[in-house]
Protein backbone atom coordinates (compact mmCIF):
# COMPACT_ATOMS: atom_id res chain seq x y z
CA UNK A 1 0.00 0.00 0.00
CA UNK A 2 2.89 2.30 0.91
CA UNK A 3 4.50 1.53 -2.47
CA UNK A 4 1.30 2.51 -4.30
CA UNK A 5 1.09 5.76 -2.37
CA UNK A 6 4.71 6.56 -3.19
CA UNK A 7 4.03 5.78 -6.86
CA UNK A 8 0.99 8.06 -6.93
CA UNK A 9 2.97 10.87 -5.28
CA UNK A 10 5.76 10.41 -7.85
CA UNK A 11 3.29 10.53 -10.74
CA UNK A 12 1.68 13.66 -9.27
CA UNK A 13 5.06 15.38 -9.02
CA UNK A 14 5.95 14.41 -12.63
CA UNK A 15 2.57 15.64 -13.80
CA UNK A 16 3.00 18.96 -12.04
CA UNK A 17 6.48 19.26 -13.43
CA UNK A 18 5.24 18.61 -16.98
CA UNK A 19 2.43 21.09 -16.53
CA UNK A 20 4.85 23.72 -15.29
CA UNK A 21 6.96 23.16 -18.40
CA UNK A 22 3.92 23.65 -20.64
CA UNK A 23 2.70 26.82 -18.93
CA UNK A 24 5.25 29.16 -20.56
CA UNK A 25 4.14 27.78 -23.97
CA UNK A 26 0.65 29.29 -23.56
CA UNK A 27 0.24 33.00 -22.85
CA UNK A 28 -2.64 35.45 -22.86
CA UNK A 29 -3.19 39.19 -22.84
CA UNK A 30 -1.70 42.03 -24.85
CA UNK A 31 0.82 42.77 -22.11
CA UNK A 32 2.19 39.21 -22.41
CA UNK A 33 2.28 39.06 -26.21
CA UNK A 34 5.35 37.01 -27.18
CA UNK A 35 7.82 38.10 -29.86
CA UNK A 36 6.83 35.31 -32.23
CA UNK A 37 3.29 36.68 -32.76
CA UNK A 38 4.59 39.76 -34.62
CA UNK A 39 8.02 38.56 -35.76
CA UNK A 40 8.31 34.77 -36.06
CA UNK A 41 11.47 34.99 -38.18
CA UNK A 42 13.33 36.96 -35.49
CA UNK A 43 12.07 34.61 -32.80
CA UNK A 44 13.02 31.39 -34.60
CA UNK A 45 16.42 32.62 -35.84
CA UNK A 46 18.37 30.04 -37.87
CA UNK A 47 17.28 26.90 -36.08
CA UNK A 48 13.65 26.75 -37.18
CA UNK A 49 11.45 27.73 -40.11
CA UNK A 50 8.33 29.30 -38.62
CA UNK A 51 4.86 30.58 -39.48
CA UNK A 52 2.02 32.00 -37.39
CA UNK A 53 -1.67 31.15 -37.62
CA UNK A 54 -4.65 33.00 -36.19
CA UNK A 55 -8.12 31.66 -35.41
CA UNK A 56 -11.05 31.75 -33.03
CA UNK A 57 -9.81 28.63 -31.23
CA UNK A 58 -6.52 26.90 -30.50
CA UNK A 59 -7.41 24.19 -33.01
CA UNK A 60 -8.13 26.65 -35.85
CA UNK A 61 -5.03 28.74 -35.06
CA UNK A 62 -2.82 25.63 -35.09
CA UNK A 63 -4.35 24.45 -38.38
CA UNK A 64 -3.81 27.88 -39.95
CA UNK A 65 -0.19 27.99 -38.74
CA UNK A 66 0.52 24.61 -40.35
CA UNK A 67 -1.12 25.74 -43.59
CA UNK A 68 0.94 28.95 -43.68
CA UNK A 69 4.15 27.01 -43.17
CA UNK A 70 3.16 24.53 -45.89
CA UNK A 71 2.51 27.41 -48.31
CA UNK A 72 6.16 28.46 -48.09
CA UNK A 73 7.11 25.11 -49.62
CA UNK A 74 4.15 24.32 -51.85
CA UNK A 75 4.08 27.67 -53.64
CA UNK A 76 7.75 27.08 -54.33
CA UNK A 77 6.92 23.61 -55.70
CA UNK A 78 4.63 25.05 -58.37
CA UNK A 79 6.88 27.96 -59.29
CA UNK A 80 10.08 25.95 -59.52
CA UNK A 81 8.50 23.12 -61.47
CA UNK A 82 6.98 25.49 -64.03
CA UNK A 83 10.22 27.41 -64.55
CA UNK A 84 12.33 24.26 -64.84
CA UNK A 85 9.83 22.57 -67.16
CA UNK A 86 9.70 25.59 -69.49
CA UNK A 87 13.47 25.92 -69.48
CA UNK A 88 13.92 22.24 -70.24
CA UNK A 89 11.42 22.28 -73.10
CA UNK A 90 13.01 25.31 -74.76
CA UNK A 91 16.57 24.13 -74.44
CA UNK A 92 16.18 20.44 -75.17
CA UNK A 93 14.06 20.13 -78.30
CA UNK A 94 10.87 19.45 -76.36
CA UNK A 95 12.27 16.43 -74.56
CA UNK A 96 9.66 17.03 -71.86
CA UNK A 97 6.71 18.26 -73.87
CA UNK A 98 4.28 15.83 -72.24
CA UNK A 99 2.14 17.49 -69.56
CA UNK A 100 2.13 14.17 -67.74
CA UNK A 101 5.84 14.53 -67.05
CA UNK A 102 5.34 17.87 -65.31
CA UNK A 103 2.44 16.50 -63.26
CA UNK A 104 4.52 13.51 -62.13
CA UNK A 105 7.35 15.81 -61.00
CA UNK A 106 4.89 18.06 -59.17
CA UNK A 107 3.28 15.09 -57.39
CA UNK A 108 6.63 13.63 -56.39
CA UNK A 109 7.82 16.94 -54.92
CA UNK A 110 4.53 17.45 -53.07
CA UNK A 111 5.00 14.01 -51.45
CA UNK A 112 8.48 15.05 -50.30
CA UNK A 113 7.12 18.32 -48.90
CA UNK A 114 4.42 16.41 -47.01
CA UNK A 115 7.09 14.13 -45.55
CA UNK A 116 9.15 17.15 -44.46
CA UNK A 117 6.12 18.84 -42.91
CA UNK A 118 5.41 15.83 -40.72
CA UNK A 119 8.11 17.25 -38.44
CA UNK A 120 6.21 20.50 -37.79
CA UNK A 121 5.60 21.30 -34.10
CA UNK A 122 2.92 23.70 -32.77
CA UNK A 123 3.68 23.99 -29.05
CA UNK A 124 3.39 27.76 -28.59
CA UNK A 125 0.02 29.47 -28.35
CA UNK A 126 -1.18 32.94 -27.37
CA UNK A 127 -4.69 34.30 -26.70
CA UNK A 128 -5.54 37.98 -26.99
CA UNK A 129 -8.74 40.02 -27.49
CA UNK A 130 -10.78 37.00 -28.58
CA UNK A 131 -8.17 35.78 -31.08
CA UNK A 132 -5.86 32.81 -30.70
CA UNK A 133 -2.39 32.62 -32.26
CA UNK A 134 -0.28 29.52 -32.82
CA UNK A 135 3.34 29.15 -33.89
CA UNK A 136 4.30 26.33 -36.28
CA UNK A 137 7.99 25.38 -36.11
CA UNK A 138 10.01 23.16 -38.43
CA UNK A 139 13.47 22.05 -37.36
CA UNK A 140 15.69 22.97 -40.31
CA UNK A 141 18.26 20.26 -39.60
CA UNK A 142 15.66 17.49 -39.62
CA UNK A 143 14.04 18.84 -42.81
CA UNK A 144 17.43 19.25 -44.47
CA UNK A 145 18.35 15.65 -43.69
CA UNK A 146 15.21 14.39 -45.48
CA UNK A 147 15.80 16.62 -48.52
CA UNK A 148 19.48 15.72 -48.83
CA UNK A 149 18.66 12.01 -48.81
CA UNK A 150 16.11 12.52 -51.61
CA UNK A 151 18.53 14.63 -53.66
CA UNK A 152 21.34 12.09 -53.26
CA UNK A 153 19.03 9.33 -54.51
CA UNK A 154 18.03 11.44 -57.55
CA UNK A 155 21.70 12.20 -58.28
CA UNK A 156 22.43 8.47 -58.36
CA UNK A 157 19.52 7.79 -60.75
CA UNK A 158 20.53 10.67 -63.05
CA UNK A 159 24.13 9.48 -63.16
CA UNK A 160 23.02 5.94 -63.97
CA UNK A 161 20.84 7.13 -66.88
CA UNK A 162 23.58 9.47 -68.14
CA UNK A 163 26.37 6.89 -67.93
CA UNK A 164 24.28 4.26 -69.73
CA UNK A 165 25.02 6.14 -72.96
CA UNK A 166 21.50 5.41 -74.18
CA UNK A 167 19.64 8.26 -75.83
CA UNK A 168 16.36 6.69 -74.84
CA UNK A 169 17.17 7.36 -71.16
CA UNK A 170 18.08 11.04 -71.57
CA UNK A 171 14.46 12.27 -71.20
CA UNK A 172 14.29 10.35 -67.92
CA UNK A 173 17.57 11.94 -66.79
CA UNK A 174 16.21 15.41 -67.56
CA UNK A 175 12.95 14.65 -65.77
CA UNK A 176 14.87 13.53 -62.67
CA UNK A 177 17.05 16.63 -62.86
CA UNK A 178 13.98 18.89 -62.87
CA UNK A 179 12.64 17.08 -59.82
CA UNK A 180 16.01 17.49 -58.09
CA UNK A 181 16.11 21.21 -58.92
CA UNK A 182 12.79 21.67 -57.13
CA UNK A 183 14.07 19.91 -54.01
CA UNK A 184 17.30 21.93 -54.07
CA UNK A 185 15.20 25.10 -53.91
CA UNK A 186 13.81 23.93 -50.56
CA UNK A 187 17.35 23.80 -49.21
CA UNK A 188 17.62 27.48 -50.10
CA UNK A 189 14.41 28.15 -48.14
CA UNK A 190 16.01 26.39 -45.16
CA UNK A 191 19.16 28.50 -45.57
CA UNK A 192 21.26 25.50 -46.62
CA UNK A 193 23.63 25.33 -49.61
CA UNK A 194 22.93 23.01 -52.53
CA UNK A 195 25.46 20.23 -51.92
CA UNK A 196 24.67 18.33 -55.15
CA UNK A 197 27.59 18.14 -57.58
CA UNK A 198 26.31 15.42 -59.87
CA UNK A 199 25.45 15.42 -63.57
CA UNK A 200 24.21 18.88 -64.60
CA UNK A 201 21.46 19.81 -67.05
CA UNK A 202 24.16 21.18 -69.33
CA UNK A 203 25.83 17.73 -69.34
CA UNK A 204 22.55 16.08 -70.33
CA UNK A 205 21.85 18.56 -73.13
CA UNK A 206 25.40 18.30 -74.41
CA UNK A 207 25.07 14.53 -74.67
CA UNK A 208 21.74 14.95 -76.46
CA UNK A 209 23.42 17.27 -78.97
CA UNK A 210 26.05 14.58 -79.57
CA UNK A 211 23.33 12.01 -80.20
CA UNK A 212 21.50 14.39 -82.54
CA UNK A 213 24.70 14.77 -84.58
CA UNK A 214 24.64 10.97 -85.14
CA UNK A 215 20.95 10.19 -85.66
CA UNK A 216 19.40 6.75 -85.42
CA UNK A 217 17.01 5.91 -88.27
CA UNK A 218 13.90 3.89 -87.50
CA UNK A 219 11.67 2.28 -90.14
CA UNK A 220 8.06 1.79 -89.01
CA UNK A 221 6.01 -0.86 -90.75
CA UNK A 222 2.41 -0.65 -89.62
CA UNK A 223 -0.97 -1.96 -90.62
CA UNK A 224 -3.51 0.71 -91.44
CA UNK A 225 -6.17 -0.23 -88.91
CA UNK A 226 -5.29 2.73 -86.69
CA UNK A 227 -3.17 5.47 -88.24
CA UNK A 228 -3.35 7.53 -85.04
CA UNK A 229 -1.26 4.91 -83.24
CA UNK A 230 1.42 5.02 -85.95
CA UNK A 231 1.45 8.82 -85.86
CA UNK A 232 1.76 8.76 -82.06
CA UNK A 233 4.71 6.35 -82.12
CA UNK A 234 6.46 8.28 -84.90
CA UNK A 235 5.83 11.59 -83.15
CA UNK A 236 7.15 10.43 -79.78
CA UNK A 237 10.27 8.88 -81.32
CA UNK A 238 10.92 12.07 -83.30
CA UNK A 239 10.62 14.11 -80.12
CA UNK A 240 13.26 11.86 -78.58
CA UNK A 241 15.64 12.54 -81.46
CA UNK A 242 15.07 9.50 -83.67
CA UNK A 243 14.69 9.90 -87.43
CA UNK A 244 11.65 8.15 -88.90
CA UNK A 245 11.85 6.75 -92.44
CA UNK A 246 9.18 5.09 -94.55
CA UNK A 247 11.54 3.09 -96.74
CA UNK A 248 15.18 2.41 -97.38
CA UNK A 249 17.96 1.63 -94.93
CA UNK A 250 17.46 2.07 -91.19
CA UNK A 251 19.26 1.19 -87.99
CA UNK A 252 16.13 -0.43 -86.59
CA UNK A 253 12.74 -1.57 -87.78
CA UNK A 254 9.49 -1.43 -85.84
CA UNK A 255 6.64 -3.76 -86.69
CA UNK A 256 3.41 -2.20 -85.43
CA UNK A 257 0.14 -4.09 -85.27
CA UNK A 258 -3.00 -2.72 -83.66
CA UNK A 259 -6.56 -3.82 -83.26
CA UNK A 260 -9.51 -1.94 -81.80
CA UNK A 261 -13.09 -2.98 -81.29
CA UNK A 262 -16.32 -1.82 -79.77
CA UNK A 263 -17.49 -4.20 -77.04
CA UNK A 264 -20.97 -4.91 -75.74
CA UNK A 265 -21.92 -3.08 -72.55
CA UNK A 266 -25.41 -3.54 -71.18
CA UNK A 267 -25.61 -0.10 -69.56
CA UNK A 268 -27.75 2.55 -71.17
CA UNK A 269 -25.87 5.69 -72.16
CA UNK A 270 -22.41 4.10 -71.95
CA UNK A 271 -20.03 2.53 -74.45
CA UNK A 272 -17.09 0.13 -74.08
CA UNK A 273 -14.06 0.11 -76.35
CA UNK A 274 -10.86 -1.96 -76.46
CA UNK A 275 -7.52 -1.14 -78.08
CA UNK A 276 -4.65 -3.59 -78.51
CA UNK A 277 -1.20 -2.54 -79.77
CA UNK A 278 1.84 -4.76 -80.35
CA UNK A 279 5.26 -3.31 -81.20
CA UNK A 280 8.20 -5.54 -82.13
CA UNK A 281 11.67 -4.13 -82.85
CA UNK A 282 14.34 -5.63 -85.12
CA UNK A 283 18.02 -4.86 -85.66
CA UNK A 284 19.65 -4.55 -89.08
CA UNK A 285 20.15 -8.32 -89.32
CA UNK A 286 16.44 -8.95 -88.79
CA UNK A 287 16.77 -10.29 -85.25
CA UNK A 288 14.04 -9.45 -82.73
CA UNK A 289 15.55 -7.23 -80.01
CA UNK A 290 12.52 -5.95 -78.10
CA UNK A 291 8.75 -5.69 -77.88
CA UNK A 292 6.02 -3.66 -76.24
CA UNK A 293 2.35 -4.55 -75.73
CA UNK A 294 -0.54 -2.25 -74.83
CA UNK A 295 -4.02 -3.62 -74.15
CA UNK A 296 -6.71 -1.44 -72.60
CA UNK A 297 -10.49 -1.39 -72.31
CA UNK A 298 -12.36 1.75 -71.29
CA UNK A 299 -15.96 2.70 -70.63
CA UNK A 300 -17.43 6.09 -71.41
CA UNK A 301 -20.42 8.02 -72.63
CA UNK A 302 -19.26 8.19 -76.24
CA UNK A 303 -16.85 6.31 -78.50
CA UNK A 304 -15.06 9.56 -79.36
CA UNK A 305 -14.41 10.23 -75.68
CA UNK A 306 -13.17 6.69 -75.04
CA UNK A 307 -10.88 6.63 -78.09
CA UNK A 308 -9.34 9.95 -77.07
CA UNK A 309 -8.78 8.68 -73.53
CA UNK A 310 -7.17 5.40 -74.65
CA UNK A 311 -4.94 7.15 -77.17
CA UNK A 312 -3.75 9.53 -74.45
CA UNK A 313 -3.05 6.57 -72.16
CA UNK A 314 -1.15 4.82 -74.94
CA UNK A 315 1.01 7.89 -75.50
CA UNK A 316 1.92 7.99 -71.82
CA UNK A 317 2.53 4.23 -71.71
CA UNK A 318 4.78 4.40 -74.75
CA UNK A 319 6.92 7.27 -73.45
CA UNK A 320 7.35 5.52 -70.10
CA UNK A 321 8.16 2.05 -71.48
CA UNK A 322 9.63 2.44 -74.98
CA UNK A 323 13.11 1.56 -73.64
CA UNK A 324 11.94 -2.05 -73.87
CA UNK A 325 12.26 -1.75 -77.66
CA UNK A 326 16.08 -1.43 -77.26
CA UNK A 327 16.46 1.23 -79.95
CA UNK A 328 19.99 2.20 -78.82
Percent of the chain scored above 90 by pLDDT? 30
Q: What are phi and psi of 54, to 5 degrees?
A: -125, 140
| Cβ 208 vs Cβ 94: under 8 Å | no
Contacts of 223 (CB under 8 A, 6+ apart): 256, 257, 258
DSSP state of 249: -
Q: Report residue 314's pLDDT band, with 50, 70 and 90 as the boundaries.
A: very high
Which residues, listed in sequence order, are joined to residue 218 by a DSSP beta bridge? 244, 252
134 sits in which H/E element: strand 131-139
Most confident of 6-15, 47-56, 161-170, 239-248: 47-56
State the pTM of this model.
0.65
Judged against a pLDDT cut of 70, whether residue 5 lies above it is answered with: no
| Selected residue with higher pLDDT from 24 and 232 | 232
Torsions phi, psi of 70, nearest 5? -65, -35
Is the separation of the CB atoms in 84 and 183 below 8 Å? no
Amino acid sequence: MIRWNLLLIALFIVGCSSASKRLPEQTSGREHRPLWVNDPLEFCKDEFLCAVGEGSSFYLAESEARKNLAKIFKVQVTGTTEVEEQSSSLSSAEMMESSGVTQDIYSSNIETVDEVLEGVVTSKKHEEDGSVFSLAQLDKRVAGKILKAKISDLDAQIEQAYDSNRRSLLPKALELYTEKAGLATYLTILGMPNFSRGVSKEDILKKKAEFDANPIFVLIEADKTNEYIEQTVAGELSTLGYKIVKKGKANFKLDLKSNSRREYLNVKGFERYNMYVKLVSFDQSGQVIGNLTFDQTQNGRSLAQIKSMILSNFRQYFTENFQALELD
